[in-house]
Amino acid sequence: MTFRRFVATLLEVERASSRLAMVRMLAEAFRELPPEEVPLAVLLLQGRVAPEFEGLEFGVAEKEAVKALALVLGRDEAEVARAVKEKGDIGAYAREVLPEREGGLTVRQVYGELRAIAEDSGKGSQLRKRERLARLLAAASPEEAAVILRTVTGRLRLGVGDATVLEALALAFLGDRGKRPLLERAYNLTSDLAHVARLALEGEEALRAVKLEVGKPVRMMLAERLPGPEQIMEKLGPHYAEHKYDGERVQVHFNGERFWVYSRRLENITHQYPDLLAALGEVQQEPFIVEAEAVVVDPVTGEMRPFQNVLNRKVKHLTPELLEKYPVKGFVFEILYHDGKTLIDRPYTERRQALERWFRPHERLELSSKRFVETTEELVQFFDASIEAGCEGLVCKKPDGEYEAGKRGFKWVKYKRGIAGKLSDTLDLVVVGAWLGRGKRAGSYGSLLAAAYNPDEDRFETLTKVGSGFSDEDLGQVLPRRLDPYRREERHPRVWSLLEPDVWFDPALVVEVEAQEITLSPNHTCAYGVVQEGRGLALRFPRFVRYRDDKSPEEATSTKEVVEMYRNQWA
């Protein structure tokens, strides 16, 4: 397919009136592409040339892209830079000034060039990247150049979520968008959309046969909530409760030679945990995939320190001093692969036995503390013990539950301390808009419009305005710095809102919010019409708690969870 046709589809998709229309347009384009170009197109749709977990970035700053464009236009760099700044978007500017060209580039050619740009590194790479980009732009039509420039500078935001791509692939190659769950399963096991596209092209059997692979992150299983211990006992029956450690969740892969560490968002964070990996390498030489909570401990007393401490490791160059100041201990709670065997479909009890066989004592490693509980009293007792030990509470696990990749279900239920007069759990919401501040907050944002995620519709539905809980520093510097890159003129196509904030944002930043209760509201779209016709759900007395950079927008609290929290709040 010509890249031109592909770009035309993208523009149509951006303007689509509904998600279903989007799915149909994408499916049609997928069908038209030669099979070997489908996975490439799927990556380009995400603005990437490799799955996110591979960490392959373009390494082209906007300044460099401006230089490449100036080269093609034969104009002065400073002049082009000024014009781009004025226009606010390099893509829009390129579309305006580049001459009309027939082009004739194919999807494969553009992908190949972009991939070469991303892979080039080391001495002299900046110049080579710039020249390659300029050559590509010189062969492109203005519309194509706009997409290429937005892609390499990380600004291609099409508003097509993974769920929509999966549904379009299901429609294109299995003839039925209702088969999305089959693709979702493959995606949950491999986290690789391009790979899922390849499998979808082969057909249903290939999708069903997909297995996890050491090195490719498995999308993480998550826990449900229930209002209290009685309800947990009722739902799970006698079960295993484990301490809920408050650190960073890590999924560690080892193929016998090489380690990979993935975060909740499936980012490659291997470089962040050299000490933990050294410990794991000492206890096991056979390939494995395990999950642990990495918790910073006091270097002197060995006591667990709160979550915020691990954030100190999120730096580009982790120095020996930082490692010494913030040592971590890994509390291992899950095993997905060992001894050449995939354990993901095995029941909890069997996985736990395998984990205990896998484990060897080490000063930096511990198995998560667990207890078999048969009564509410035993559960409460173990909960109290967990708090005393410095944990957040418990994660209660159903003995026969398999590991459900990428799902939040009742095979795991979390039990955290409820704070009097407040909802027993906080919500993680996506910032989709904001109102400008007045008075003391003039020049910054006064309050944010925050949304929950609806995975069925693949869209963000508003739940609350949040204006309290921010420090002066948050308001003055942190929020503008974090949010300004996502500002946009109009509502993002994946956001559903009845309110009209002063500014809109791409759904990107996730914040943790606490509140007193959840109420019905005619102004918010979260779970609109689910509890009552003509009403959505809203938070009462919301308060910002912290930034959740460990979560992607699709990992925010789901609209279904909000409905459950609404129904459970009086239980």
What is the C-alpha separation between 352 and 240, in angstroms, rounded? 10
Contact of 462 with 450, CB cutoff 8 Å: yes
User: Is beta strand 365-367 parallel, antiparallel or unpaired with respect to 328-338?
Assistant: parallel
- Shortest Cβ distance from residue 307 to ligand ATP (Å)? 8
Q: Which position among 162, 242, 275, 458 is part of the footprint of ligand ATP (CB under 6 A)?
A: 242
* Complex with ligand ATP: residue 233 or 295, whichever CB lies closer: 295
State the minimum distance, in angstroms, from the CB of residue 524 to ligand ATP: 22
Dihedrals φ, ψ of 176, to 5°?
-155, 115
Beta strand pairing status for 248-254 and 288-296? antiparallel
**What distance in Å separates the CA atoms of residue 286 and residue 267, rounded to the nearest whole number?**
24
Residue closer to ligand ATP by CB (options 30, 453) is: 453
Min separation Cβ 463 and ligand ATP, Å: 16
- Residues 251, 86: Cα–Cα separation, whole Å: 44
| Residue of the chain from 179, 180, 338, 414 that contacts ligand ATP (CB under 6 A) | 414
Residues 6 or more apart whose CB falls under 8 angstroms from that of 83 comprise 93, 97
**Beta carbon of residue 286, minimum distance to ligand ATP (angstroms, whole number):** 23
Write out the E strands in 104-187.
none
How far apart (Å, rounded) are the C-alpha atoms in residues 43 and 41? 5
Question: What track of x and - describes contact with ligand ATP for positions 429 through 458 (by CB under 6 A)?
Answer: ------------------------------
Closer residue to ligand ATP in complex, CB, 259/307: 307
Taking the alpha carbons of 245, 251, 252, 255 in that order, is the dihedral positive or negative?
Answer: positive
Task: State the minimum distance, in angstroms, from the CB of residue 485 to ligand ATP.
Answer: 25
Q: Do 428 and 557 contact (CB within 8 A), yes or no?
A: yes
Residue 288 CA to residue 562 CA, distance in Å, equals: 36
By beta-carbon proximity to ligand ATP, the closer residue of 183 and 395 is 395
Binding flag, residue 249, ligand ATP (CB under 6 A): yes
CB of 414 to ligand ATP, least distance (A): 5
Tokens matching residue 53: 């977990």
130 vs 243, beta carbon nearer ligand ATP = 243
Hey, what are 409's tokens?
Answer: 């279900």
For the record, the structure tokens of 89 come out as 């978007």
CA distances from 74 to 70, 77, 82 (A): 6, 9, 15
Instruction: Identify the residue among 4, 179, 244, 494 touching ligand ATP (CB under 6 A).
Output: 244
What is the smallest separation between the CB atom of 316 and ligand ATP, expressed in angstroms?
Answer: 24
Residues 6+ away with beta carbon under 8 Å from 520: 531, 532, 535, 536, 537, 538
Question: CA-CA distance, 567 to 564, in Å (whole number)?
Answer: 5
Task: Give the residue with the Cβ less far from ligand ATP, 28 or 549.
Answer: 549
Provide the 3-class DSSP secondary structure of residue 543.
strand
Q: Which is nearer to ligand ATP, 73 or 395 (CB)?
A: 395
196 with 185: CB under 8 angstroms? no
Query: Considering only 154-162, 169-177, 242-250, 314-322, which stretch makes contact with ligand ATP by CB under 6 A?
Result: 242-250
Range in contact with ligand ATP (rule: CB under 6 A) among 20-28, 114-122, 239-247, 265-273: 239-247
CB of 30 to ligand ATP, least distance (A): 33
For the record, the structure tokens of 195 come out as: 């790979």
Length of the chain (residues): 571
Backbone angles phi, psi at 547, to 5 degrees: -80, 140
Q: Is residue 143 part of the contact set for ligand ATP (CB under 6 A)?
A: no
Q: Which of 216, 244, 414, 551 is catalytic?
A: 244
Q: Which of 30, 245, 504, 544 binds ligand ATP (CB under 6 A)?
A: 245
Backbone dihedral region of 128: left (phi > 0), alpha (psi from -120 to 50 degrees) or beta? alpha
Q: Strands (DSSP E) along 132-181, which ranges?
A: none
Long-range (24+ apart) CB contacts under 8 A made by 311-317 are 313/272, 313/273, 314/272, 314/549
Q: How far is the CB of 368 from ligand ATP (least distance, A)?
A: 4
Of 293, 366, 461, 561, the one binding ligand ATP (CB under 6 A) is 293
Q: Is 187 in the site for ligand ATP (CB under 6 A)?
A: no
Residue 546 in the binding site for ligand ATP (CB under 6 A): no
The residue (of 113 and 404) whose beta carbon lies closer to ligand ATP is: 404
* Contact range with ligand ATP by CB under 6 A, out of 138-146, 243-251, 320-328, 351-359: 243-251
Residue 143 and residue 4 in contact, taking contact as beta carbons nearer than 8 Å: yes
Separation of alpha carbons 380 and 244, rounded Å: 14
Q: Which of residues 345-384 bind ligand ATP (CB under 6 A)?
A: 368
Instruction: Rank residues 151 and 188 by Cβ distance to ligand ATP and give the closer one.
Output: 188
Residue 333 touching ligand ATP (CB under 6 A)? yes
397 is catalytic: no
Stretch that binds ligand ATP, among 7-15, 241-249, 487-495, 526-534 (CB under 6 A): 241-249
Site for ligand ATP in 201-230 (CB under 6 A): 222-223
Q: How far is the CB of 249 from ligand ATP (least distance, A)?
A: 3
Total residues interacting with ligand ATP, rule: CB under 6 A: 12
Name the residue nearer to ligand ATP (CB basis): 368 or 462. Answer: 368
For residue 191, give the amino acid letter. S
Does 395 interact with ligand ATP (rule: CB under 6 A)?
yes
Contact 194, 33 (CB under 8 A): no
Min dist. Cβ of residue 548 to ligand ATP (A): 8
Q: Measured between alpha carbons, how far is 134 from 152 in angstroms, rounded to an integer?
A: 12
Report which DSSP code applies to 362: B
* Interacting span for ligand ATP (CB under 6 A) from 4-12, 124-132, 244-252, 359-367: 244-252
Cβ-based nearer residue to ligand ATP, 342 or 369: 369
Residue range at the interface with ligand ATP (CB under 6 A); choices 104-112, 201-209, 237-245, 489-497: 237-245
Question: Annotated catalytic sites, by residue?
Answer: 244
Q: Which residues bind ligand ATP (CB under 6 A)?
A: 222-223, 242-245, 249, 293, 333, 368, 395, 414
